[in-house]
Structure 1
């Protein structure tokens, strides 16, 4: 604190008490932040002493100083400290800084059989990180299907061959990843033992099931980051251990992303689990410190934690368990898409060190900050830089240099920025309760719009260290089950029991264990009831616990076996949660000046083009069709190998031309785990060609333009040396094979084929009608593991010209609009609505999602609560109810005291967009607290005809409402890139 300072208008100054209790079982919590290193001593969850000091360049030295200072303040003998729990950003910073001295090259061994070979490891890494980390990758027989049956047994000879290559390249960090290993890690563990035997004890071998959740490429990416960091992590942990050893027989633990603990030796093996522990520690500490001031259980007001540091402010919603809500989407760390659990934190550039500027009578706050240099550069400390802290201190320095007008305008701007951020995070109507913590919280006023109560707990400056000190042990199960001998409810109970066992094995006290998460997600497009279960439990640490590594017990193995079907049966240190599929401009590209490469009737795709298509096909997918990321990576790989992927102009396609429909059918969630190989679609296409008497073809098209199938059609054409025609069969997405413009005219789906890419193909030369074709193909797909390459009856030139116009061009235009808006810092949603003549139905936060599977399709609804552009304490309730059956079907507005109002209904396109960046969301992304904009686009006129409404309108999905178009104007067909940019005939 500066000399002769008095605190003004932002809450009391807390004077730490001197406490001299002699009782044992004390714990030290430490949080090593970018600005400060904080430490506390707790006994029975009571703070005995605390200390805050600027973070030192030598982290070990800083931790030693923090321990020494806080023990001295508590006036305790050092041997009274039972454990030290540390939260650190060291590991994620090494990745963010792309430090070659801290990152090792990695070899990846996939247990995949014929699958995943179209999307190689490392492809989507930022170039610098890829250069630092890519060492080798190889494919080995193995993996599981969604129902738990093996794709192939693990091939030991192939593993030994991979080991020989790895050894020849002098790589000592290895990742083993198997398809569906989070549901059953047995094959990964088997492969680890073989590789360990071949490579020797000096080789680090990481198994992916210990790193991430379902989502093959994302789990692999997280595992690569983890493996690359292991050597450095051991160095850091050794330093922490040395700092702690002065306390005697004191145990060291490291805090994890989910607010739980890991023994130091385990954290050294899994540093990626610690990436985002800081925000979680703050939330957990805030919950404890404010416990006495928290409202009763009957108080339904939302509780937010606002942690104001020196540089940034983190805001998150606090669950009733005292843990922060976890992120619902894929997360990018340093540009790498991953799927490990981190807290859902909204960060803004606001802190005690934020630099204040006054220009043209307008006051700005940040985004830059003096950070840990505040006590040297801030005006209140005798420096020359005006900071947010200077606005709330009064001393001889601030009196002379900070005018009352500057203070007033600066504090008003701070309040405005914070109010907007809080309004984004809130998930309930009405005023929230805010727990305000962090050393920079002195800059926050006592009144915030949309907040009914502000709690400034004692020791708020070190809430992050308190959260570290109270961290518990966890146990998690993430698996896919198929009802058979057990019901889903019984499977949930079995998962809880296994999660509890894992928690106890990790050191948890069984008497204190509580369930903090149960997530039940039916898998769409499957007919056997396959369901993903995620269960997480936490418990207090057992005194004197020492970690062990026993083999899986018979009980645990039985649970793994039960999931098999018997055929009856932050921008910096923390990373910023973001929709992983969304396109982000990572290089300085002038999108407004970009032109696609058009040569005659052919459009040669670039990396930027497929990035546009990734978002555009997501919008047209209306919530379904699956995340296109694996196919996007495969396309990216082909382009980076110098190969061409082309789209052919539709209106000049020759009358004698032949088009094959190429894509996948099955579950989008299976698609993200059992990544396609090279042959699924190709084998189906070859079978249809044979049945149709064709020896060749000219182009492919997707069955629907939405999501993954658009990309799979591009890949299929590329592998045959052909092009994809600029059209599709739907102009949006529908769940049934017969919901196409061809079937409106009763053109047969057969001959059709589905293939698993592993030598099994089912062909249907004729069927009674298209409904029977759907049933037969869907059943065959389920038998093939709920994901199959698909091809239906060929299309010839004249018909191809009559299909929906310029489908890929349309998707590209939408994606370009989103990317251009992002690059110009504009609202992508507004841009889409303008370019597509769409309608904004609702802006809100998801407050509930219900799902169930019927006839192989995921049905359910999502309820959204409104959020306003300006903070409001209005108690009126406005919500939107959206029903879906794989795709979004209807949107109904609900307001207090008013009749429900139908805003949009199929066949019009209803799409959810991430409010932060405009990225399209699928129904698998819908989770509590997600902030979205819901838009509607008009369907092509063919779907508004009597026949079109019969097959794709409300009645086709059992809805009672009548169709009413969201637009009264003329429908405008999408223009092709040839029309927009010229070129061609």
Structure 2
């Protein structure tokens, strides 16, 4: 008889739970659950696991030889990070292969300080890294690596991350792999993690993920050995799997190497187990998992799957990105409420306090009902509910019994608060209670349309592990010499489906979870690194292969943050917050102002302009070290003022990987040294408000070299792909307005243009050099007078970005993210000025880079709540150009076009998604925003910035009426 039974185990902070499941009997009344058991988690997890599995086999009378697999879900690794436990987190050194770039944005610069101090102990900036076209920024240097290894060894750091610029695209030079080999040669005792194995494009986020993975490696290995010891002692010969973040299985040997893939497996298992227990799910539900130490809350969709994560995931305040096995649930919330939570009076008041500290796995010796001496939540619950199957209620003293009413009120308040924090609208939502601590919860809760406690809910996590799905992952390099990206990805997806079936999936259950294509532009014929991941239900007795096809040089023939909501500290009152504007009408930018402006800039970037995030963390660090960022109104400029202008030029894909060197200031120095005569700018204006360029004016102005204010405005009111598509050219004519003009690439290559016939020709000249300079440079335009600035500027766009960012933040804090699109629309002029064009899921992306521009098209399939059916196609050239509604017959209709703004935003966060981040499976909404009348009031503006300027055969039709943004300076200036 073949082995068919599955064991699922959840190793929690307090209890180790287990179930023994017959997958062929899940339709029966017992759902195929032949036995379940709870046991305290032991210091060596293997003992608790052994106890649980022994109990399962004894209760079910199943022999060890009949067990097909053991699958373990554990929160051990993420708990080490959340608890910032230096005993389980190893110090890490980072080797950045970057040449002159990224030095102003150090590793972990955006982490919580206490976690950074534990983990990030050393960083070396060494030669290496690639340009977007595959050419090396600098050749890697073995001597540099050897020297850094000696330093790291002297510091007794044994976990090392190697992170190279554009490493996920590096399948030819293999810089990270070669450096890791040198590290192992010069420091054999070290663990080496190369970033490209952990995450995808996005330098900061990939490095963060690799650092956490490296830090947890020693603890992960010891934990896996503990699990394997339990298997050997029980004489189990079946495979051992660990559940991943996406609810699929990972062989234990791989989990020991990539433990970060399991970080959020606990909440995912809980939600998958909950879905299994409520098979007739017809609406979204909140899953509230109350364990022994904490309560986790996540959203379970009507499909039975956890809500998909945003493009970027946060864990313990650390931003990360994943390709495979990323965190599926966005912003899981936890509170310190569990069965082992301590209950006591506050030190400064008589108020009853529950948690967040817990007796953990010592509950069976320390709780009152078990003869201990510490009042816990379990003690109160046992007495309050008259439970007879947990300990001995007579051991609970009268003093505890007298506090039952207050205890019940506090627990109810804590749960109602976390439910309210997780909801995305004001409407009540069903709540599904699971976990061993579910006994703590009342049967009714405000905000819950109903409270459901299904049978077996106490071991939902273990059930989720037992039913964990299989995946099929393909990661190969494919020629696109005669094929489109879309066609290649379709074939890659079929391969992923086949791989999932090989790994034991039921073919009919397979779904593509993610796809991506990374261009390798240096190759001839053109190559893509193509990735696809398929998820599926396991067969009853599969042959577990669980392999991934690794990248190879061959062609394919016809491939939030987690938030604690029960803390004492109060959050910022966003509605009451007032920015600081002096009596001299200077807006002094704070960190919170900067955060909101960054959010708004990316939404105004219409997919382009590059992500603001690296510039945000750099500017925030400048604020923290004493720099002052000042913003002034264009109305306050004198006619004779000298206004500088600067920004990035090139592909936004580069900006997510190649963090700046000193190219912005190099370009400015060239311009003003050439002018001479002591010429110095009085203020700076951003070239464009959209994307990362929206922060460049403030970065330049606040630098020690300039120390001048930034004008509240820009030359575009959005982002455009070329720097002659600006209002000075619309309103001032075809001549060259800004001379001299300079570009710098940060790697020692600079150009200065002293004269030119027009801004358009200057742009063409620089574009010819741009692709040879890494497809991204800093540009400094010659000075502009205050008089012309006031005539040409699109006013108050920094104010507008601030208002948009504040609206997004307010929706988050009020847990009204479902209404974030409406909140943004209100800030940009209301329903006469903007509207939601579409809602749905990204189902296709094509992109290529030509002369520093990212060209491509994203296709979005409508969701059930969309006002439009069918598809929405958005061609882009760095920025989104037009939005085309496609009906069932394939007929296309233009619903918005440039110069109006077309912004794609993540439904789960309200934040913009740039064209480099478009990815299969992301749920999005698309906003259309009316452009400034400085673009739309004249035929010349439409000629320069309209759809025909991009080769689109369409006439511009305005979305609505433009409303001038209200100035923050005018509103909040001190009187």
With normalisation by structure 1, the TM-score equals: 0.74
1:122 corresponding residue in structure 2: 108
Q: Which residue of 1 aligns with 2:289?
A: 309
Is residue 212 of structure 1 aligned with residue 199 of structure 2? yes
Name the structure 1 match of 2:934. 942
1:722 deviates by 3.7
CA deviations on 1:423-481 (whole Å, 9 max, x unpaired) are: 9999xxxxx99999988999999xxx999xx9999977756434433546656456897
Whole-Å Cα distance in 2 between the matches of residues 814 and 314 of structure 1? 27
The answer to whether the aligner puts 1:799 opposite 2:780 as a matched pair is: no
| Conserved? CA contact 1:846–1:928, under 8 Å | no
Q: Which residue is 2:59 aligned to?
A: 73
CA displacement, residues 193-228 of structure 1 (integer Å, 9 cap, x when unaligned): 222222331x22221122112111001111111222
| 1:465 and 2:449 correspond | no
Instruction: Report the equivalent of 2:17.
Output: 38
Q: Distance in 2 between matches of 1:692 and 1:900?
A: 52
CA, structure 1 residues 633+479, in 2 after alignment: closer, same or farther (shift >3 Å)? farther
Q: Distance in 2 between matches of 1:333 and 1:155?
A: 34
Rounded to whole Å, the distance in 1 between the matches of 2:885 and 2:534 is 37
Using the TM superposition, give the Cα deviation of residue 666 of structure 1 relative to its aligned residue in structure 2, in angstroms. Answer: 2.0
Kindly report the root-mean-square deviation, in angstroms, between the aligned alpha carbons of the 2 structures: 5.6
1:535-569 Cα shifts (integer Å, max 9, x gaps): 22579899998999xxx99x95525999xxxxxxx
Partner of 2:708: 723
Aligned counterpart for 1:133 among listed residues 111, 116, 119? 119
Q: Does structure 1 conserve the Cα–Cα contact (< 8 Å) formed by 2:297 and 2:422?
A: no
Name stretches of at least 5 consecutive residues in structure 2 with no aligned partner.
26-31, 342-352, 370-375, 390-403
- Superposed counterparts of 1:580-659, under 5 Å: 588-591=571-574, 592-596=576-580, 598=582, 600=584, 603-647=587-631, 650-659=634-643
Of the three residues 688, 693, 696, the one matched with 1:709 is 693
1:891-910 to structure 2, matched below 5 A, reads 906-910=898-902
Displacement after TM superposition at 1:113 (Å)? 1.5
Aligned with 2:48: secondary structure? Answer: helix
| Alpha-carbon spacing, 1:343–1:716, altered in 2? closer, same or farther (3 Å) | same
Aligned pair partner of 2:136 in 131, 144, 150 = 150
The equivalent of 1:671 in structure 2 is: 655
Residues 254-289 of structure 1, C-alpha deviations (whole Å, 9 max, x = no match): 222233333334323322111112344456667888
Q: CA deviation at 1:649?
A: 5.1
| Contact preservation (8 Å) 1:843, 1:932 | no
State the SS of the aligned residue for 2:240: strand
Aligned pairs (5 A) from 1:852-931:
852-853=846-847, 856=853, 857-860=855-858, 862-865=860-863, 867=865, 881=872, 883=874, 885=876, 886-888=878-880, 906-912=898-904, 914=906, 918-924=910-916
User: Residue 779 of structure 2 aligns with which residue?
Assistant: 790
| CA apart distance, 1:571 | 7.1
Aligned partner (choices 739, 742, 749) of residue 760 of structure 1 = 749
After superposing the two structures, state which structure 1 stretch, 459-468 or 517-526, moved more.
517-526
Residues 841-860 of structure 1 mapped to structure 2, 5 A cutoff: 841-842=835-836, 845-853=839-847, 856=853, 857-860=855-858
Given that residues 477 and 554 in structure 2 are in contact (C-alpha distance below 8 angstroms), is that contact kept between their aligned partners in structure 1? no
Q: Which moved more, 1:527-536 or 1:94-103?
A: 527-536
Q: Is the 8 A contact 1:315 1:346 kept in 2?
A: no
Within the candidate set 36, 39, 49, 2:34 is matched to 49
Structure 1 segment 306-455 matched on structure 2, within 5 A: 309-310=289-290, 311-312=295-296, 314-317=298-301, 326-340=308-322, 341-344=326-329, 382-384=382-384
CA deviations on 1:488-536 (whole Å, 9 max, x unpaired) are 47865896799899999xx957999978456246889999988663322
Given the alignment of the two structures, is residue 963 of structure 1 paired with residue 957 of structure 2, yes or no? yes
Go from structure 1 to structure 2 and tell me whether the alpha carbon gap of 1:557 and 1:853 turns closer, same or farther (over 3 Å shift): closer
Q: Is the 8 A contact 2:839 2:862 kept in 1?
A: yes
Distance 2:689 2:881 in 1: 17
Say which is worse superposed, 705-714 or 484-493, in terms of deviation.
484-493
CA distance in 1, matches of 2:705, 2:927: 38
Deviations 1:913-964 (A, max 9, x none): 5555543444555567756665555433322312323333455453646534
TM-score, with normalisation over the residues of structure 2? 0.75
Tell me if the contact between 2:479 and 2:556 (Cα under 8 Å) persists in the aligned partners.
no
Residue 736 (structure 2) aligned to one of 719, 731, 748: 748
Deviations 1:566-591 (A, max 9, x none): xxxx976xx89xxxxxxxx9984455
**Unmatched runs of 5 consecutive residues or more in structure 1:** 1-21, 295-300, 356-365, 390-401, 427-431, 563-569, 577-584, 869-875
Residues 718-737 of structure 1, C-alpha deviation per residue, up to 9 Å, x if partnerless?
Answer: 26334353131112222332
* Secondary structure of residue in 2 paired with 1:705: coil
Match of 1:778 among 763, 767, 778: 767
Shift of 1:768: 5.4
Displacement of 1:354 in angstroms is 15
Q: Which moved more, 1:916-925 or 1:709-718?
A: 916-925
Q: Does the residue aligned with 1:107 lie in a helix, a strand or coil? A: strand
- Structure 1 window deviating more from structure 2 (140-149 vs 949-958): it is 949-958
Aligned counterparts of 1:45 and 1:305: Cα–Cα separation in 2: 27
Does residue 837 of the first structure (1) align with residue 810 of the second (2)?
Answer: no
Aligned residue pairs total 884
SS at match of 2:168: coil
Structure 2 match to 1:29: 8
Indicate the residue corresponding to 2:966 in structure 1: 974
- Indicate the larger mover: 602-611 or 189-198: 602-611
Q: After the TM superposition, which of the residue ranges 26-35 and 370-379 deviates more from structure 2?
A: 370-379
- Aligned residue for 1:194? 182
Counterparts of 2:430 and 2:958, CA distance in 1? 42
Contact kept? 2:648, 2:778, Cα under 8 Å? yes
CA distance in 1, matches of 2:941, 2:522: 26
Answer yes or no: is 1:697 the counterpart of 2:680: yes
The 1-side partners of 2:331 and 2:811 are apart by: 21
Tell me the CA shift for residue 339 of structure 1.
0.7
Q: Distance in 2 between matches of 1:287 and 1:841?
A: 36
Shift of 1:333: 0.4
Q: 1:773 to 1:158 in 2, by over 3 A?
A: same
Q: Distance in 1 between matches of 2:521 and 2:886?
A: 30
Work out which of the residue numbers 941, 944, 948 in structure 2 matches 1:951.
Answer: 944
Instruction: Determine the structure 1 residue equivalent to 2:397.
Output: none
Separation of aligned partners in 2, 1:354 and 1:821? 34
| Change in CA separation of 1:155 and 1:631 when aligned onto 2, cut-off 3 Å | same
Q: For residues 86 and 510 of structure 2, what CA distance do their matches in structure 1 show?
A: 42
Question: Which of 509, 514, 519 is the aligned partner of 2:515?
Answer: 519
Structure 1 counterpart SS, 2:129? coil
Deviation for aligned residue 1:368: 10
Q: Secondary structure at the match of 1:519?
A: strand
Q: Check the 8 A contact 1:843/1:866 in 2, yes or no.
A: no
Give how far 1:979 is off: 6.0
Residue number in structure 2 paired with 1:660 = 644
Distance in 2, matches of 1:890 and 1:982, equals: 42
For 1:15, the equivalent position in structure 2 comes to none
In the alignment, the residues of structure 2 paired with residue 558 and residue 736 of structure 1 have an alpha-carbon distance, to the nearest angstrom, of: 35
Give yes or no for contact 1:754–1:780 (8 Å, CA) kept in 2. no
Does structure 2 conserve the Cα–Cα contact (< 8 Å) formed by 1:849 and 1:926? Answer: no
Contact 2:91 2:215 in 1 (8 A): yes
1:807, distance to aligned residue in structure 2 (A): 3.2
The 1:117–1:253 alpha-carbon spacing in structure 2 relative to 1, beyond 3 Å, is same
1:761-813 alpha-carbon deviations (Å, 9 max, x no partner): 35555555444444443343333333222234432333223322343344334
